[in-house]
Structure 1
Amino acid sequence: MTVKVAVTDNNNANNLTKVLMVQGTTSDAGKSTLVAGLCRLFVRQGVKVAPFKPQNMALNSAVTIDGGEIGRAQALQAVACHLEPQIDFNPILLKPSSDTGSQVIVHGKALMKMEAEDYFGKNAEGYRVKAMAAVRESYLRLTSEYDMLLVEGAGSPAEINLREGDIANMGFAEEVDCPVIIIADIDKGGVFAHLVGTLALLSESEQARVKGFVINRFRGDVSLLQGGLDWLESYTNKPVLGVLPYLHDLHLDAEDALIAAPEKSNDTKLKVLVLVLPRISNHTDFDPLRLNPQIDFNYVSLQTQAQSQSQNQSQSKQALPSADLIIIPGSKNVRADLAFIREQGWDCAIDKHLRYGGKVLGICGGYQILGQSIDDPDGIEDYAGSSEALGLLPLVTELTSTKVLQQVEGSLSLLGETASIVGYEIHCGRSRQLMPLEQPLSLWAKNGERVNLEQQHSQSEGMLSSDGQIMGTYLHGLFDSPEACQLILKWAGMEQAEVVDVNQVREQQLNRLADVLEQHLDLERLNQIWDPR
């Protein structure tokens, strides 16, 4: 039975907007997915709904229609709402550049680089007050425009070391006085301990605003869980709003986790390797390749390389699995990741791959790594200095404090053919070509204005080596446009390639997710959160 949620008054800032916050017992409990599914479920009911995440920490980001950047999950949730991504959907974004430091992005713009102690520590209250002000500013704008706001927490509200000055979980919920539901992943084990323990570590007022639980990723016969559900409701006096099944092959944009390719047949037509760098960013670029049944797709990390070498002790450190195409992805700390490539001997493996006729593609930070040098005179990403790059393309890069952030469209030229392409740019570096080579991309800002040559970079973007084996570009989303993806795969050696339209897949999966929520959530109880009877 479909239960529609009526939009009525509540006690938030707007007094007309329904607000619900989804928090989790752990990271990866399913917060992002649940919010995305609820967004699609309610928008299908005709509710004007928007997503919101006060503070996010992720390397996978998206460029907004208003020229900023937000977390990838909030961009996905915007798609679920049939909205263009906006900076207000994620006002604070932290992008880790080292084990202890992050770039701080406020309302879509990078303001500073901060160490964790400076942001989360005891002396950080002053900055956190400013951050909460930015969060509340975005919140007020959204509640003045939308009927419903679905808010995603971060990590767990029970991280007691981070409670003081919190703006990501209960600190935000208390600030705006909104109800909360908590989701837990039963597939991890210990789901009742997770839920009860999380609740126990909250203050009395925080416990009172928890209106129910959702159990995620359940496998098997739910009737076997009923005894535990009854106990949980009796012990906590909180309802279980639903038990969601484990959804196999749910293909949605991942915010952080690298997801292995689904199992494929042995008759694939192209072998693709993506190098997993310590600060890899925007790996969702590769979803259309990862999901393509004709492509043998693999992420290669230090761990997978070590496993391969342990199986063959005679294999040298620099070996990589054989491939037709090696991709160097984006990076949040490009000079450190360049050093990592050399430490693993992957630079020598790439040279060998090219000698045997393989293709290499660098995207964003990977494009910079393919050049001659990378200069960071002001220490934008790490310590100030300069690094010699791989020397495979004739360009030099300087990192600058001002980011290029724009959605673009244009055309890709390869093999004497042209294909339309849509994507986005998000980078600090400015690269200068040292000698004329073919540039495969011609890009325009998505609003129709041609990219300014002096303020940004050449209208013709990217670079193809003189032998046609190496290509680099700043464009993310390179494979999302089916026509362009097909042309790139042809360049890599795959004639008559069938391609995966990742935008179509995303729509199908969001609708599938909404169908599951409609079936397995108690929507009447959910509606009672706003309209108690």
Structure 2
Amino acid sequence: MARAIMVQGAGSNVGKSMLVAGLCRHFARSGLRVRPFKPQNMSNNAAVTADGGEIGRAQALQALAAGVEPVVDMNPVLLKPETETGSQVIVQGRRLATVKARDYAALKPQLLDACLDSFRRLAATCDLVIIEGAGSPAEINLRAGDIANMGFAEAAGVPVILAGDIDRGGVIAQLVGTKSVLDPADAGRITGFLVNKFRGDVSLFDEGTRQIAARTGWAPLGTVPWFADAHRLPAEDILDIRSAPRDGAFRIVVPRLNRIANFDDLDPLSADPALSVEIVPPGRPLPVCDLVLIPGSKTTIADLDALRAEGWDIDIAAHRRRGGHVLGICGGYQVLGRTLSDPEGLEGAPRTVPGLGLLDVETVMRPEKHLARVRATDTASGTEVTGYEIHLGETTGPDTARGWLMRDGTAVGAASPDGRVLGCYLHGLFAGDAFRAAFLSRLGAGPSDGPYAAGVEATLDALAEHLAGALDMDAILSLAGPV
């Protein structure tokens, strides 16, 4: 019989995703069959699974940490924000609807059933399920119909450990205050607590630990020092992606779109010390560089409007006139064309807008979403390229005849006649070391630093060892309940 434990946070961004990844790697290395699970996630950074659906990228990383392929049951509900008040709802890997925040509550009974169904199916395949909550259970205004934290824990009958973040300050209030606002039954589900992101001598917090334990009755599980290599792991949120400017290196500039999506394309580039990657926020012009990389977008036409409002279209055109290179991926590919059409109003009112005109292609938005893992070949170097497609829209036009990638004898993407403007729908392509090195060397970059995927694996191992040195792993395992 499988056991399960749920990691919830005393606030948002306390490090739950990283903690779950590290716990998955630790217990997998201990010989257990481990699976990550997050009932509800909110992110536009998605992964395509082996079974052809989409889940949050954090759960894909946690699956990697557990040594298994990601499947849709690891994240049965994924909310992908499209506006400030509405999100696309993905259930068990497939789009269910786009709903306003105020209407989402009506879906929750149906969504809880899907979460429990996925959880039970996942638990049947393993020894231990490590569950990640979302936000914080202290948001008691969201408790009615909750499927992300205590509502799920109650329905599934799983115990909870609560994580606090000492780096932001007030961790004693975070943890003790959470207990004070929770319903007694919910507070009773919490069996232990931990403190994350401590800088300095952890023994200095011993008295704080005693005070939290005395006021909550929860078992202290440890204090985790700051993990300096966290930036080497794929980021879940664009705010976690760091610019990596390096003097003298090949310079890549990325405009930070409002609804940037599937930005894992940037992780291998930011990790490579041979490259300088600068993510430019709104309000700043795009600086002179070697390559402008336009990333994916959840709402492409709206982000194209915003790009123009920032004046970035002028910066990109000037970069092109100087002989610079431009690469667009997914939504970034679509904006490079002559026109973008949304005849069915998938992103708002039906309309057709002019693109940047750097590629002789046109894109028409269609409601059918393309979800696929892809293997292709770089035509210039012959190296294999692997990645995934996750997009709405069909792109056609003369420049697609110069597709710079080939899949099963068919050209993929598009290229300008001089090859300086490229576009494709393939996310994750830079994770492959051979392709990344070949592609960037053609653009004038120096030698690549090498193995990205191996670096992620090594960082997950280091994270597991880091947690094992700080937390009482035997106690955590003993707190996991049967399911």
1:93 and 2:78 are equivalent in the alignment? yes
Judge conservation of contact 2:336–2:356 (CA < 8 Å) in 1. Answer: yes
- Secondary structure of 1:488's aligned partner: helix
Which digits, 9 at most, give the CA deviation of each residue in 1:95-146, with x for residues without a partner?
00111111110110112111111104xxx2xx21111111111011112111
Cα deviation, residue 262, structure 1: 7.2
In structure 2, distance between residues paired with 1:383 and 1:160: 36
- Aligned sequence identity (%): 44
In structure 1, distance between residues paired with 2:238 and 2:332: 19
In structure 1, distance between residues paired with 2:238 and 2:471: 26
In structure 2, distance between residues paired with 1:93 and 1:43: 25
- Secondary structure of 2:402's aligned partner: coil
Unaligned runs of 5+ in 2: none
* From 384, 387, 405, the counterpart of 1:423: 387
Judge conservation of contact 1:333–1:382 (CA < 8 Å) in 2. Answer: no
Counterpart residue number, 1:31: 16
With over 3 angstroms needed to count, the CA separation of the structure-2 counterparts of 1:197 and 1:383, relative to structure 1, is farther
Counterpart residue number, 1:312: none
* From 277, 298, 315, the counterpart of 1:332: 298
Judge conservation of contact 2:340–2:353 (CA < 8 Å) in 1. Answer: yes
Judge conservation of contact 2:246–2:275 (CA < 8 Å) in 1. Answer: no
Which digits, 9 at most, give the CA deviation of each residue in 1:136-173, with x for residues without a partner?
11011112111111100001111122111000100000
In structure 2, distance between residues paired with 1:54 and 1:86: 13
Judge conservation of contact 2:245–2:278 (CA < 8 Å) in 1. Answer: no
Taking only aligned residues, the RMSD between alpha carbons, in angstroms, comes to 1.6
Judge conservation of contact 1:463–1:471 (CA < 8 Å) in 2. Answer: yes
Counterpart residue number, 1:131: 111
1:107 and 2:92 are equivalent in the alignment? yes
- Secondary structure of 2:383's aligned partner: strand
Cα deviation, residue 404, structure 1: 0.7
Cα deviation, residue 482, structure 1: 1.0
- Secondary structure of 1:383's aligned partner: coil
Counterpart residue number, 2:201: 221
Letter aligned with residue 473 of structure 2: L
In structure 2, distance between residues paired with 1:360 and 1:64: 29
- Secondary structure of 1:119's aligned partner: helix
Counterpart residue number, 2:59: 74
1:408 and 2:374 are equivalent in the alignment? yes
1:462 and 2:438 are equivalent in the alignment? no
In structure 2, distance between residues paired with 1:494 and 1:435: 25
Counterpart residue number, 1:19: 4
Cα deviation, residue 288, structure 1: 1.3
Counterpart residue number, 1:439: 403
Cα deviation, residue 481, structure 1: 0.8
Cα deviation, residue 264, structure 1: 6.5
Cα deviation, residue 467, structure 1: 1.3
In structure 1, distance between residues paired with 2:278 and 2:399: 33
Counterpart residue number, 1:511: 461
Letter aligned with residue 472 of structure 1: G
Residue correspondence of structure 1 range 184-199 to structure 2 within 5 A: 184-199=164-179
* From 212, 220, 227, the counterpart of 1:247: 227
1:258 and 2:239 are equivalent in the alignment? yes
Cα deviation, residue 435, structure 1: 5.2
Counterpart residue number, 2:287: 321
Judge conservation of contact 1:375–1:386 (CA < 8 Å) in 2. Answer: yes
With over 3 angstroms needed to count, the CA separation of the structure-2 counterparts of 1:531 and 1:462, relative to structure 1, is closer
- Secondary structure of 2:395's aligned partner: strand
Judge conservation of contact 1:23–1:153 (CA < 8 Å) in 2. Answer: yes
Provide the TM-score with structure 1 as the length reference: 0.88
Which digits, 9 at most, give the CA deviation of each residue in 1:368-414, with x for residues without a partner?
00011111122223332222111111111111111110111120123
With over 3 angstroms needed to count, the CA separation of the structure-2 counterparts of 1:530 and 1:342, relative to structure 1, is closer
1:202 and 2:152 are equivalent in the alignment? no
